């Protein structure tokens, strides 16, 4: 069950860290590049989580619903947080306010994503 806890607790933090990095970076990053890289990160996390936990859930749930569950878990926070980070950068928001907003939205979007993921596969509730 350790890999499941990793998938549902640790890996989603990478999405939040990426959004914070987009906001805090001193280099100019275009919104297009931030979105492209953010969606790539969410895709890699989704596929990686599926590959890591597939043997544990073989026969318990269909592969499609597991992928949809992990997709919700990583793409919902990615969409919310990257949009927020790009918007905050465009407004020249202070670092303290920006990071606070990103952390608050990370917590909220992760909770919503976990709830959405549980709609596809029932094993999510076991981890929480």
Q: What is the mean pLDDT of the chain?
A: 85
Q: Is the pTM of this model over 0.75?
A: yes
| Region 72-88 average pLDDT | 94
* Rg, the chain, Cα only: 15
Q: Both tokens of residue 19? A: 């959004």
Question: What pLDDT digit, counting tens, does each position of 13-69 carry?
Answer: 899 999 999 999 877 889 999 999 999 999 999 998 888 888 777 777 777 888 888
| Region 3-9 average pLDDT | 72
Reported for 106-114, long-range contacts at CB under 8 A and 24+ positions apart, including other chains, are 106/15, 106/16, 106/19, 106/77, 106/81, 109/76, 109/77, 109/80, 109/81, 110/12, 110/16, 110/77, 112/76, 113/12, 113/72, 113/73, 113/74, 113/75, 113/76, 113/77, 114/8, 114/73
């Amino acid at each position: 069950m350790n890999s499941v806890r990793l998938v549902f607790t640790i890996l989603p933090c990478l999405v939040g860290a990426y959004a914070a990095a987009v906001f805090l970076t001193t280099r100019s990053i275009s919104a297009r590049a931030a979105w492209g890289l953010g969606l790539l990160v969410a895709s890699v996390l989704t596929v990686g989580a599926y590959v890591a936990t597939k043997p544990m859930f073989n026969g318990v749930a269909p592969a499609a619903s597991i992928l949809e569950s992990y997709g919700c878990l990583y793409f919902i926070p990615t969409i919310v947080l990257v949009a927020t980070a790009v918007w905050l950068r465009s407004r020249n928001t202070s670092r303290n306010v920006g990071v606070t907003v990103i952390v608050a939205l990370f917590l909220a979007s992760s909770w919503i994503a976990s709830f959405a993921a549980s709609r596809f596969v029932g094993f999510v509730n076991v981890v929480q």
